[in-house]
Every structure is written in structure tokens, then in C-alpha cells.
Amino acid sequence: MLVSIIVVAWILKPLLSIVVPTGAYALITWPLVRLLRRYMPSALATVLANAALAALIAGISILFGPVLYAQALQLLATLPEAAGSALAALPAGARDELVRLAGQVDVGVLSWSREIFGASLKLLRSTTAIVGATVLVPVLATYLQLDAPRYLRALDRIVPVDRVENVRETIAEMYAVLDGFVRAQIVVSAIVGFLVFLALQLLGIPFALTIGIMTAAIDLIPYLGGIAAILPSVVLALADGGFAKALIVLVLILAIFEFEAQVLSPQFVGRRTRLPVSMVVLALLVGGELFGPLGLYLAVPVAAMARVAIARSLGT
């Protein structure tokens, strides 16, 4: 099953940038669709729910997108100079040790972070991408929700009669895992991004909002949000307030991500995926290698669904 999922994803690789947001969008709007279906026809409820969320996203993008994009560009332009000032603020021994450690950092992780941030900037400045996110994705998600019963009926005709019920139960459990993971990870990432923003804002660190949003976006990938928060925050703190302020920033951000690791993720995400840490890391490595930044976002939910399929096939 896992190999089949990877093969299908590889075949659809050119379309993943549309397929993945469409699936996520359909998952997010589905509870609202079900609620509206109690009071109106199914087709009308589906259209209204997706159109409402699309209008909300478009409004937020129009109001805040240009400002956030400008701040992100300003942050990128500021960081090199701030990094030079930060290094100069460190004692000579600490500076040499930092340079030595930097050479040992996993280049792949840093490369993924740069690619994700670069893709985010490209999305913000691309009119085509914004139109796709606010028009094409909701339309496809609407059709996906409307056609879901047809897919299930087609599945009944393909699968042998004696296995139909088991296949349906497997799909239902995989859907529950995927749906639970997406919602839980969004909540966790939003909380973490807000806490990072709040800490940096209280300490007077420039670009607190941009760093907080960037942290929340990258934190959708387990274990990478800390890099997005720590690197620019500590550099800016060193350049602005010296070693003591940078140390306070570092301790606070590490505390936030420890809170995420020990409290938020186990409570919100862990119960839904039931994946060991080693499997999460392996999934991230494979997903990142095969599909780049998008593969990192897909890695954990796909691995969780594969776990469900394998467990049910083995009867455990």
C-alpha cells in the first residue's frame, strides 16, 4: 500500500501543487458542508460552504498579503547585515565555535527551509497562484465533495463483494486520520506561531509578525518550525540588543517548542497519527527527497494513512 501511494504521488507530481490544496480545502470545509446540509439541498450547501471560505481567504489575502510580502522582503534584505552585526557582538571564542557548528548543520534541512520560504514568497507575489487558491481550488474541492458518493459506488463495483466492507472501513479510518491530522496540525502551528510572535513582540524584536507567520507556516512540517523561528530571531536580537537579549530570545523560543513537543503535539497530533518519532523523521526524509518542500508537508499524513492500511491488512 505504501509503495502504491508513493508511485501514484510520483505520477501526479506535476499536479500536486493543485491536488494537495484541493484536498486540504475539501477537508477543512467538510464540517461546514455537513452542517448546512441539514437546512438546504446538498449541492447548494456544498457550493455555499466552499464559496464562503474562498471569499474569506481572498479578503484576508487582499488586506494583509501585500503588507506581509513587503515585510518578508524587508526581513530578507535586513538579515545579512544583521547577521554581520550579530557575529561582531559575540565574543571571539563563541564566534569561532558558532562558525564551526554552522558547518556541521544538516544542509538538507536548511535547504528545505529556504525552498519553503522561497515558495511562500513566490505564492504571495503570484497573481496566478492567488487566483488558483481562491477560484480553482474551491471549485475543484466542491466537485470533489459532490462526487465523493460516486467514487464510493464505483469502488463497490471494483472491489470483490466479500472485501467491500473491509475496504470501506479502511478508507473511512484513513480519512479520519488524515482529517484529524490536518486540523490538529493547523491548530498546533497557529498556537506556536502566535506564541513566537507574542514573545518577540514583547521583547521588541523587529519583524515579529512576519517571523510568527513564517514559523506557523513551516511548523506544519514537524520539527522544522523551530528553525524558522530561532535563526532570524536570534540574529536580530544579537544585532539589536547584544548577547543577553539573544539568549533570552533563544530560551523563550526553545521553551515554546518544548511546550509544543511535550504538550501540544501529543495532545492534538499524536493521538490521531499514532506514529513513532523515528517513523515521522523517516517519512520526512523520504518525502523531502522525492517531492521537495511539498513532500515534507505530505510525509506525515501519508505515513499515518499507510499505517492504517497496513494495520488493517494484517488484521491488527
pLDDT digits (tens, 9 = 90+) for 267-295: 777 666 777 777 777 887 787 777 776 77
* Reduced DSSP (H G I as helix, E B as strand, rest coil) percent helix, strand, coil of the chain, to 5: 90, 0, 10
Confidence tier at 11 by pLDDT (50, 70, 90)? low
More reliable by pLDDT, 51 or 289: 51
38: DSSP letter: T
Coil, helix or strand for 203? coil
Rounded-to-integer distance, Cα 195 and Cα 192, Å:
5
199 falls in which pLDDT band (50, 70, 90)? very high
For the stretch 222-225, contacts whose Cβ atoms lie closer than 8 Å and that sit 24 or more positions apart, written own/partner, are: 222/265, 222/269, 222/280, 222/284, 222/300, 223/280, 223/281, 223/284, 224/109, 224/112, 224/113, 224/116, 224/296, 225/189, 225/192, 225/193, 225/257, 225/260
Distance in angstroms (rounded) separating the CA atoms of residues 145 and 159: 22
Residue 109 above 50 pLDDT? Answer: no
Task: Reduce the DSSP state of residue 104 to 3 states and report it.
Answer: coil
Q: What confidence score (pLDDT) does residue 106 get?
A: 47
Average pLDDT over residues 148-152: 79
Q: Which pTM does this prediction carry?
A: 0.75
Average pLDDT estimate for 162-167: 77
Dihedral sign, CA of 99, 104, 109, 114?
positive
User: Could you give the percent of the chain with pLDDT greater than 90?
Assistant: 5
Distance CA 263, CA 12 (A): 36
Ramachandran region of residue 96, left (φ > 0), alpha (ψ -120 to 50) or beta?
alpha
Gap between the Cα atoms of 62 and 68, Å rounded: 11
The closest of 145, 119, 124, 2 to 67, measured between CA atoms, is 124
* Cell numbers representing residue 138 in the block: 474551491
Please tell me the predicted confidence (pLDDT) of residue 191. Answer: 92
Per mean pLDDT, which range of 38-47, 119-128, 303-312 is the poorest?
Answer: 119-128
Lowest mean pLDDT among 95-104, 176-185, 207-216, 228-237: 95-104
Q: Compute the average pLDDT of residues 292-301.
A: 76
Residue 111 vs residue 272, higher pLDDT: 272
Region 93-122 average pLDDT: 54
**CB count, 10 Å around CB of 210?**
22
Start-to-end CA distance of the chain, whole Å, equals: 16
- pLDDT beyond 90 at 14: no
Mean of all residue pLDDT scores within the chain: 76
Q: How confident is the model at residue 196 (pLDDT cuts 50, 70, 90)?
A: very high
